[in-house]
C-alpha cells in the first residue's frame, strides 16, 4: 500500500514537473520570440537613424565635391560601432561623368533601388545583421556637378550593413537571467505544491490506506470508520467507504444470525431424520412380522382348502366321515377366527403405519421449508457478495455452495415426497384389503359354524352340506389367492420401508452437511469484528 501511495505522489510530482517544464519552455519560446522581434525592430530603428546620419554626412561631403573628403567620411562612418559594412554604389552617369572605375556587378536588391528610388531594409548574415539600401537622389544642388543627370535621378545607392551581435548578446544575457529566474520559481513552486499535496492528499490517503489495510489483512474490524475531515473528493471517497463498511457490517451480522438459525434448523432436521429412521426401522419390522403372519394364514388356508375338498369327497362316499368333517370344521373355524383376529391386528398396524407415513410427509414439509429458506438466504448472500465486489468473492463461493446444497435438498425432498405418497397409497390399499379380508373371514367363520350346526342337527342334508363344502373350498381358494396378493403387497411395503430407511439416512447426511457448512460459514465470518 505504501508503494501505491508513493506511486501516486510520484505521478503527481512528475506531472507537475512536466507541466512546469512545458510551460517554462513555451514561455521561454514566447519570450525569446518577442525579444527577437523587439531586437529586430530596435535594430531597424537604430539602423534607420544611423543610416540617416551617415547619409546626411556623406551627402554633405559629396556636396563639397572633394573625393578625398568623401572617402574619409565613408571610412569614419564605417568605423562606427556596429557598422559592419558601408559601401556607395555609383550610378553609370556618375561613373561616366567622373571617369571612375566600375565597381563590378551589383546585386538585384541594389539594382532594384536604382530602379524604383525607394529605400530597402533587408536581413542578412542569417539574421545576425541588418542591411539598409538608401538611394542618393539628385537634387537641385547636385546639378552643379552632375551635369549629365537631372533632378530625381538616382546618383548612387548607399549600402549600410549593421551587425546585431551586441543586441543578441544583451538578449542572451537577459534570457539567461529569465531562464534562471523561471527555474528557481519552478523549483519553489514544486516544493510548495509537494508540501500542500502532502497535507491535502498524503495524510488523508495514508489514513484511508491504513483503514483499508486493516480491513483486508488485519482483524477485520467493521466497527471502525475512515476519518477524513476534508470535503473534497477524498472526503467523498472516505464517506462512501464508510457506507460500504457499514453495509458489509450489516450483511455479516445478518449472515451470522442466519447461520445460527441454519445450525438450529440442521439440528432439528437431524433429529427428525433420526426419528424417521427409527420409525422406518420399526415399520420394516412390523411389515416383516405381518408378512410372516400372512404366510401362516396362507398355509392355514391351503390346509383348509385340502380339508374342504377332502370333506366334500368323503361326504359323497361315506356318512361316517361327517364327524371328521365336523371336527375339521371346528378347527377351521378356530383357525379362521384366529386368522381374522390376526388380520384385524395387522390392519390396525397398517393403519398406524399409514399415520406414521403421514407424519413423514409433515416432516418432509418442514425440511422443504428449511431448504427454501436456505436457498433464499443463499440468494441474499450471493447478492450482497456481488455488491461487495472483490472483497466478497470468497463469501460468494460459500453462498453458491449453500445454494447448491439447498437445491440438492429440494430435489431429494421431491423424490422422497413422491416415494412417501406411493407408500401412503400402498399402505392404505393394504389396510383396506386386509380389513375386507377380516370381514370376509368372519363371514366364513359364521358359515363354517352354520355348517357344523347343520352337521350336528341333521345328517340328511349330507348332499347340501357337500355342496356347501364345495363352495367353502372355492372360497378358501379365493382367500388363498387374495392372501398371495396380500403377500405381494407386504413385500412391496417392506421394500418401501427399506427405501424410507435409506431416505432417512440421506436426510441425516444432508443435515450433517448443512451443519458442517453452517459451522464453516460461521468460522469464516467470525474473523470480522461487528
Residue 233 forms part of a structural domain: no
Sequence-distant (≥ 6) Cβ neighbours of residue 264 within 8 angstroms: none
State the residue range of the domain holding 75.
2-180
Both 171 and 260 in one domain: the answer is no
Residue 212 forms part of a structural domain: no
Both 174 and 250 in one domain: the answer is no
Q: For residue 142, what pLDDT is reported?
A: 74
305, 480 contact by CB (below 8 A):
yes
Q: How far is CA 43 from the centre of its chain?
A: 71
Identify the burial level of 310 via C-beta atoms within 10 angstroms of its C-beta, where 0-12 means exposed, 13-18 middle and 19 or more buried: middle
Q: What mean pLDDT, rounded, does the chain reach?
A: 71
Q: For residue 459, what pLDDT is reported?
A: 56
Instruction: Give the Cα separation of 397 and 404 in Å (integer).
Output: 11
Cell numbers linked to 386: 456481488
468, 282 contact by CB (below 8 A):
no
Instruction: Give the Cα separation of 49 and 82 in Å (integer).
Output: 13
Instruction: Give the Cα separation of 124 and 131 in Å (integer).
Output: 7
Which has the closest alpha carbon to 465: 488, 447, 485?
Answer: 447
495, 380 contact by CB (below 8 A):
no
| φ, ψ (nearest 5 deg) of residue 85 | -155, 140
- Banded pLDDT at 446 (limits 50, 70, 90): confident
- Banded pLDDT at 2 (limits 50, 70, 90): very low
66, 51 contact by CB (below 8 A):
no
Q: For residue 418, what pLDDT is reported?
A: 76
Give mean pLDDT, residues 300-304: 69
Residue 216 forms part of a structural domain: no
Q: How many domains does the chain have?
A: 2
Give mean pLDDT, residues 312-339: 67
Write the pLDDT tens digit of every residue in 409-443: 777 767 777 777 777 777 677 767 767 776 776 77
Both 303 and 428 in one domain: the answer is yes
Write the pLDDT tens digit of every residue in 94-103: 777 777 776 6
| Residue that finishes a domain, picked among 180, 207, 224 | 180
Instruction: Give the Cα separation of 192 and 202 in Å (integer).
Output: 14
| Residue that finishes a domain, picked among 162, 180, 198 | 180
Both 266 and 167 in one domain: the answer is no
Q: What is the CATH number of the domain that holds 377?
A: 1.10.287.950
Q: For residue 479, what pLDDT is reported?
A: 75
Q: For residue 460, what pLDDT is reported?
A: 60
Q: Is the pTM of this model over 0.95?
A: no
Both 65 and 148 in one domain: the answer is yes
Both 157 and 280 in one domain: the answer is no
Residue ranges of alpha helices (H) inside 318-392 are 321-388
330, 452 contact by CB (below 8 A):
yes
Provide the pairing of β-strand 83-90 with 120-124. unpaired
For 126, which DSSP code?
Answer: G
Which has the closest alpha carbon to 51: 119, 128, 142?
Answer: 119
Q: For residue 1, what pLDDT is reported?
A: 40
Residue 466 forms part of a structural domain: yes
3-state secondary structure of 325: helix
Both 140 and 285 in one domain: the answer is no
Which of 232-241, 467-476, 485-494 has the highest average model confidence (pLDDT)? 485-494
171-185, 269-283, 451-465: the lowest-pLDDT one: 451-465
Residue 530 forms part of a structural domain: no
Both 372 and 257 in one domain: the answer is yes
Both 156 and 281 in one domain: the answer is no
- Banded pLDDT at 234 (limits 50, 70, 90): low
Write the pLDDT tens digit of every residue in 129-157: 778 787 877 777 777 677 777 888 887 87
- Banded pLDDT at 279 (limits 50, 70, 90): confident
Residue 87 forms part of a structural domain: yes
User: How many other C-beta atoms are found inside a 10 Å radius of the C-beta of residue 472?
Assistant: 24
Which has the closest alpha carbon to 403: 382, 424, 421?
Answer: 382
Q: What share of the chain is helix, strand, coil (3-state, %, to 5)?
A: 85, 5, 10
Instruction: Give the Cα separation of 153 and 57 in Å (integer).
Output: 20
Q: For residue 184, what pLDDT is reported?
A: 82
Q: For residue 211, what pLDDT is reported?
A: 67
Both 171 and 320 in one domain: the answer is no
| Residue that finishes a domain, picked among 180, 210, 234 | 180
Q: How far apart are the first and last CA of the chain?
A: 25
Residue 377 forms part of a structural domain: yes
For 128, which DSSP code?
Answer: T
pLDDT at residue 188 above 80?
Answer: yes
User: How many other C-beta atoms are found inside a 10 Å radius of the C-beta of residue 199?
Assistant: 10
Residue 208 forms part of a structural domain: no
Residue by residue, DSSP assigns 216-270 as HHS--BSS--------SHHHHHHHHHHHHHHHHHHHHHHHHHHHHHHHHHHHHHH
Helices (H) and strands (E) in the chain, counts: 10, 4
Write the pLDDT tens digit of every residue in 355-384: 777 777 777 778 777 777 777 777 777 777
Cell numbers linked to 346: 395387522
Instruction: Give the Cα separation of 319 and 417 in Å (integer).
Output: 62
- Banded pLDDT at 458 (limits 50, 70, 90): low
Instruction: Give the Cα separation of 151 and 157 in Å (integer).
Output: 16
Both 116 and 8 in one domain: the answer is yes
Dihedral sign computed on CA atoms, order 222, 223, 228, 233: positive
Instruction: Give the Cα separation of 229 and 238 in Å (integer).
Output: 9
Instruction: Give the Cα separation of 90 and 101 in Å (integer).
Output: 10
3-state secondary structure of 523: helix
Instruction: Give the Cα separation of 415 and 327 in Å (integer).
Output: 54
Q: What is the CATH number of the domain that holds 144?
A: 3.30.450.20
Buried b / exposed e across 388-403, counting CB within 10 Å, b at 16+?
beeebeebbebbeebb
Both 164 and 293 in one domain: the answer is no
Which has the closest alpha carbon to 239: 250, 228, 224?
Answer: 228
Write the pLDDT tens digit of every residue in 7-17: 566 666 677 77
| φ, ψ (nearest 5 deg) of residue 135 | -80, 140
Write the pLDDT tens digit of every residue in 17-64: 777 778 877 877 777 777 667 666 766 676 667 667 776 676 666 666
Q: For residue 502, what pLDDT is reported?
A: 76
Amino acid at each position: 500500500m505504501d508503494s501505491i501511495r508513493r506511486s501516486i505522489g510520484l505521478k503527481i510530482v512528475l506531472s507537475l514537473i512536466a507541466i512546469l517544464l512545458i510551460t517554462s519552455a513555451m514561455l521561454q519560446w514566447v519570450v525569446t520570440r518577442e525579444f527577437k522581434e523587439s531586437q529586430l525592430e530596435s535594430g531597424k530603428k537604430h539602423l534607420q537613424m544611423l543610416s540617416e546620419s551617415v547619409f546626411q554626412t556623406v551627402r554633405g561631403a559629396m556636396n563639397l565635391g572633394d573625393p578625398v573628403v568623401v572617402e574619409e567620411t565613408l571610412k569614419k562612418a564605417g568605423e562606427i560601432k556596429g557598422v559592419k559594412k558601408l559601401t556607395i554604389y555609383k550610378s553609370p552617369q556618375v561613373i561616366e561623368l567622373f571617369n571612375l572605375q566600375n565597381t563590378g556587378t551589383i546585386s538585384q536588391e541594389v539594382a532594384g533601388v536604382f530602379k524604383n528610388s525607394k529605400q530597402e531594409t533587408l536581413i542578412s548574415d542569417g539574421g545576425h545583421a541588418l542591411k539598409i539600401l538608401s538611394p542618393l537622389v539628385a537634387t537641385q544642388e547636385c546639378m552643379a556637378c552632375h551635369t549629365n543627370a537631372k533632378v530625381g535621378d538616382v546618383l548612387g545607392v548607399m549600402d549600410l550593413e549593421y551587425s546585431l551581435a551586441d543586441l543578441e548578446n544583451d538578449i542572451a544575457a537577459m534570457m539567461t537571467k529569465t531562464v534562471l529566474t523561471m527555474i528557481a520559481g519552478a523549483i519553489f513552486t514544486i516544493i510548495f505544491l509537494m508540501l500542500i499535496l502532502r497535507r491535502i492528499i498524503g495524510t488523508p490517503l495514508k489514513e484511508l490506506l491504513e483503514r483499508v489495510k486493516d480491513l483486508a489483512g488485519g482483524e477485520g474490524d467493521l466497527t471502525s470508520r475512515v476519518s477524513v475531515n476534508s470535503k473534497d473528493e477524498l472526503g467523498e471517497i472516505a464517506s462512501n467507504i464508510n457506507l460500504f463498511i457499514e453495509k458489509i457490517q450489516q450483511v455479516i451480522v445478518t449472515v451470522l444470525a442466519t447461520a445460527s438459525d441454519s445450525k438450529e434448523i440442521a439440528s432439528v432436521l437431524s433429529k427428525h431424520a433420526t426419528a424417521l429412521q427409527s420409525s422406518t426401522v420399526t415399520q420394516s419390522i412390523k411389515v416383516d412380522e405381518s408378512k410372516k403372519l400372512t404366510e401362516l394364514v396362507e398355509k392355514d388356508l391351503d390346509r383348509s382348502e385340502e380339508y374342504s375338498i377332502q370333506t366334500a369327497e368323503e361326504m359323497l362316499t361315506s356318512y361316517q366321515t361327517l364327524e371328521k368333517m365336523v371336527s375339521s370344521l371346528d378347527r377351521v373355524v378356530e383357525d379362521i377366527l384366529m386368522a381374522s383376529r390376526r388380520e384385524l391386528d395387522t390392519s390396525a398396524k397398517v393403519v398406524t403405519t399409514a399415520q406414521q407415513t403421514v407424519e413423514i410427509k409433515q416432516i418432509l414439509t418442514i425440511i422443504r421449508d428449511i431448504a427454501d429458506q436456505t436457498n433464499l438466504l443463499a440468494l441474499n448472500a450471493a447478492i450482497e457478495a456481488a455488491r461487495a465486489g472483490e472483497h466478497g468473492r470468497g463469501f460468494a463461493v460459500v453462498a453458491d455452495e449453500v445454494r447448491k446444497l439447498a437445491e440438492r435438498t429440494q430435489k431429494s425432498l421431491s423424490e422422497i415426497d413422491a416415494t412417501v405418497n406411493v407408500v401412503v397409497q400402498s399402505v392404505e390399499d393394504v389396510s383396506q384389503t386386509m380389513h375386507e379380508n377380516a370381514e370376509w373371514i368372519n363371514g366364513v367363520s359364521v358359515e363354517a359354524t352354520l355348517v357344523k350346526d347343520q352337521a350336528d342337527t341333521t345328517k340328511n342334508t349330507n348332499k347340501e352340506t357337500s355342496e356347501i363344502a364345495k363352495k367353502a373350498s372355492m372360497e378358501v381358494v379365493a382367500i388363498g389367492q387374495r392372501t398371495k396378493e396380500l403377500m405381494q403387497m407386504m413385500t412391496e411395503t417392506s421394500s418401501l420401508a427399506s427405501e424410507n430407511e435409506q431416505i432417512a439416512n440421506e436426510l441425516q447426511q444432508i443435515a450433517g452437511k448443512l451443519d458442517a457448512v453452517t459451522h464453516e460459514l460461521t468460522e469464516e465470518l467470525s474473523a470480522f469484528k461487528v
